[in-house]
Amino acid sequence: MRYAILAEIYRKLDATQKRLEMIDILIELFDKTELENIRIVIYLTSGKIGADFEDLDIGIAEKMVIKAIAKAVGKSEEIVTALFAKKGDLGEVVEAFKAKSTQQGLEAFLTDGKTAAEESLTVREVWETLNKIANLEGKGSAAKKINTLVGLYAKATPLEAKYITRTVLSQLRLGVRDLTIIEALARKYCTEKDARKVIEHAYNVTSDIGFVGEILARKGLEAVRQIKIQVGRPIRMMAAQRLPSTEEILEKLGGKCALEFKYDGERVQAHKNGDKITLFSRNLNDISTMYPDVRDALKASITASKAIVEGEIVAWDPQAERLRPFQILMSRKRKYDISEMKEKIPVKVFLFDLLFVDGDNYLLKAYPQRRTKLEEIIKEEEIITLASQEIVTNASEFEAFFETAIESGCEGVMAKDIRETAIYQAGNRGFLWIKHKFDYSSAFADSYDFVVVGGFYGKGRRKGMLGTLLMAAYNPEKEIFETVCKLGSGFSDEDLAKITKELMALRTPEKPKEVASKLEADVWFYPTKVFEIRGADLSTSPVHTCALNEIKEDMGIAIRFPRFIRFREDKKPEFATTTKEIIDAYKEQRLLKKEKKN
């Protein structure tokens, strides 16, 4: 399959913002894709070269791409950089240079006397080359990566070079997310009504849309139904909803629930396969090497031969026997000096769920069964323990446990449904788990996880840096990010310097298709970074798009007086606060205001 076909499909996807049109274009792509390439095509169209948990980082920054473009098109790096400053997209830069080249100039890149047609790129060749680049390490690897990319440019048409560049920089930005691909797969290969649900479940338990898509295309939906949990392959984690009042939580959960401490740490999914322990983060990254102490402790603590358990890794003060802040734990996330940091920042792991044990899938079992089995297979020791839990049946019991959690240094509690229907909803956010944090006890001091989608340049002391950020909530039904506030307070100078540096690497020349905004930012960013913020209250807004027309016509919901709290590097944008959560919080706030007036 020629890569030119894929590039042309990308051009079509680039030209539309309509999700239904995107799905039709993806179906067209699958029609043109041979079975042996379907997995590769799905990865590349997702902007990746493999599954998330495979941690395949191409490892090429903008400066390296500029060097490669300059070398490929015979221009100086200064000239390439100047055009990049105008266009803001290195994909468009290389496309422009290649388009201006004469046919003789292009043929000068070809080798062995082959014609341009014979040298045309294939999808597999591009994918294999990008994997080769990702695996280049050690001394001289940067130069090798650049030269390998130059080799791709030599064979690429202008349009192909554009999308190769965007893929290399993780900036494909077609507006296509995994759920859109799942919908297209269901429509292309299935007639069954429950097809999308089956495909999505398989994706949630494998965390690999390419793998699932290939099984579907080759063997059909029934084969997808047979996909099972594999130890060592992460399951997409279940997320919680939020409600502000204990009474509302208890009512939602049938009058009683299990309460657990909500620890302020890094969520971890631990896989045990014999003597091997693999740790995955909420974002499906393999973090095993960062926590060698946790691996060793879990190896001894989990008595089962094969198991998948979930918990929270927290920074721990062994002398005071107290939890330490989340920011301290983040110092453990590094590739170097791991032994030193292990001694400097001890941790403790609080386990709270079981997903699989010795051949038995526990995802469809009720939460009480999962917790009971978890207690059976865990031998508690110095580092590993079970999350504190209590069954409550009324508001006073709830509040007492909540206060105990806060006194213990936790950020709140997690309320869990204990009815028979309380399964583990892999990859989904539902009301089987409801988080209740200290902030929620005041209707006007809530905290949210929002995504940065745009920025405004600072003035005065902040000149030369971003001074204000445009933040958005996530709407999973529409797969878009809806603006909810402009954030300009709570940052230290060090925070702003870090934010500016990291965000400018994510800038895009125009508003991303996944972003719904009435405001025009000075600079747009692809939705990647998640920040936790706190606001005074929620109000309707004519300038923001979160929950647009849901409360009032032509009005969205905005958070007033937002303040930056911390970076949420452990969260993907899809796990940010949702539009529905904002709507629910706004309605609850109005009710509380009415009650106070009465």
Q: SS3 for 504?
A: helix
Q: Does residue 323 sit in helix, strand or coil?
A: strand
Inter-CA distances, 94 with 14, 72, 87, 263, Å: 17, 9, 11, 48
- Cβ proximity of 272 and 231 under 8 Å: yes
459 within 8 A of 578, measured Cβ to Cβ: no
User: Is 178:46 a contact under the CB 8 Å cutoff?
Assistant: yes
State the DSSP code for 235.
P
Q: CA–CA distance from 213 to each of 12, 183, 202, 284, 546 (Å)? A: 22, 11, 10, 19, 32
DSSP 238: P
d(CA 479, CA 496): 29
Please give the sequence-ordered ranges of beta strands (E in DSSP) within 233-387, or none if there are none. Answer: 239-242, 257-262, 266-273, 276-281, 306-317, 322-323, 347-357, 360-361, 384-386
Residue 199 phi/psi, 5-degree rounding, is -65, -45
Cα dihedral 533, 534, 538, 539 in deg (nearest 10)? -70
Question: Tokens at residue 115, please?
Answer: 């014609």
Active-site choice (75, 155, 262, 513): 262
CA angle 460, 465, 469 (to 5 degrees): 105
Strands 563-567 and 530-534: antiparallel
Residue entry with tokens 């980082």: 57
Residues 6+ apart with CB under 8 A from 161: 91, 94, 95, 98, 152, 153
Element (H, E) at 566: strand 563-567
Active site includes 262?
Answer: yes
For CA atoms 131, 134, 140, 145, give the dihedral sign. positive
Please check whether residue 482 is in contact with residue 475, taking contact to mean a CB–CB distance below 8 angstroms: yes
Name the residue type at position 41. Answer: V
Q: Is the dihedral of CA 393, 399, 402, 403 positive or negative?
A: negative
Q: Which amino acid is at 377?
A: I
Q: What are the structure tokens assigned to 190, written together? A: 């299935």
Nearest to 227, CA basis, from 361, 422, 56, 421:
361
DSSP secondary-structure letter at 519? S
Closest CA to 526 of 178, 172, 165, 10: 172
For residues 390 and 257, is the Cβ–Cβ distance under 8 A?
no
How far apart are alpha carbons 118 and 59 in whole angstroms? 30
Give burial (CB, 10 Å; 0-12/13-18/19+) of 79: middle
Active site residues: 262
